[in-house]
Amino acid sequence: MAETLDSLLAESRDKLKAAGIEAAALDARHLVSGLLGLSRAALVTRGGEPVGEADAARIRAAIERRAAHEPVHRILGEREFFGLNLKLSKDTLEPRPDSETLVDCLIPHVRRIAARKGSCRIIDLGTGTGAICLALLNAVLDARGLGTDISDNALQTARENARRNGLAERFETLRSNWFEAVEGRFDVIVSNPPYIRSSVIAELDPEVKYHDPVAALDGGDEGLDAYRAIALHASRHLETDGLLGLEIGFDQKQAVTALFEAQGFRLLSGVKDLGGNDRVLVFEQDVERSKDR
């Protein structure tokens, strides 16, 4: 007898449960709907329909990978971020919902600058999939963005994501070690840099430590290496009335604020993520202090 969607879903869920995957039923539905190109509603309404041999084999192979703790979106090769469909690749972090907090918080600033100046120039340091910059460009039509990264593979993926989402005309990329190869000034500097302490990486969930690239996670001994490098040169690349927005680790607000204050910045706002943790810091240049320097 031919297998049905229902029977394959049940088999997938049971296999994931047996492998200790917490959200077994949800992950099974997500993988099956993603692989077959069906909506979640269709999984329910078409549950009695037969599944061909080739599709069943693809689903079983994907479930094997998930049972070995590969994340759902790595297996599907793409994920949604702030309404954009983004391709993932070996050197790109899987964009996290926490980073949507950073986008949310910067959109009004980007809109305001674009309305005042006719355009808003954004640089996204360590752009990965391009998630943050592309989401800002998608929200504000008069904005233009430069995504930088140390990885060519990430930059290639970011460019493809810009094309996929109709944003390629306003998005460029540059390979650079933080500001090293960057020229000129920007209205908005944004970054979600690697900020996990090196010693903690080995304790992360297998989904993260084996599947997100280590260059996207490891922030050095104190988790602050990238912030130090960015803080050192940020004022040279920011328009006087520009803004700098950063994602931070839940316990880094004080340390990161001190690093940027030491370089002539003033904390404009600190924003918590949906879990109530400090997650985003927005700085402006401290004009009074800059005059004194």
Q: How far is the CB of 139 from ligand SAM (least distance, A)?
A: 16
* 79: β partners: 86
161 binds ligand SAM (CB under 6 A): no
Indicate the residue type of 275. Answer: G
Q: Can residue 173 be called a binding residue for ligand SAM (CB under 6 A)? A: no
Burial class of residue 251 in the structure, from the number of CB atoms within 10 Å of its CB (0-12 exposed, 13-18 middle, 19+ buried): exposed
**Which residue, 3 or 172, has its beta carbon nearer to ligand SAM?**
172
Q: Which of 9, 28, 75, 93 binds ligand SAM (CB under 6 A)?
A: 93
Task: Select 101 or 263, whichever has its Cβ closest to ligand SAM.
Answer: 101
Residue 286 binds to ligand SAM (criterion: CB under 6 A): no
Q: Does 178 bind ligand SAM (CB under 6 A)?
A: yes
199 lies in the binding site for ligand SAM (CB under 6 A): no
3-state helix, strand, coil in the chain (%, to 5): 50, 20, 30
199 DSSP 8-state letter: G
Mention every residue, 6+ apart, whose C-beta is less than 8 A from residue 74: 88, 94, 211
| 131 sits near ligand SAM (criterion: CB under 6 A) | yes
Cα–Cα distance between 16 and 14 in angstroms, integer? 5
Q: How far apart (Å, rounded) are the C-alpha atoms in residues 159 and 126?
A: 13
110: contact with ligand SAM by CB under 6 A? no
Write down the least CB distance from residue 284 to ligand SAM, Å. Answer: 21
User: Which H or E run includes 24?
Assistant: helix 24-36
Binding residues for ligand SAM, rule: CB under 6 A, are: 91, 93, 95, 99, 126-129, 131-132, 148-151, 154, 177-178, 192-194, 215-216
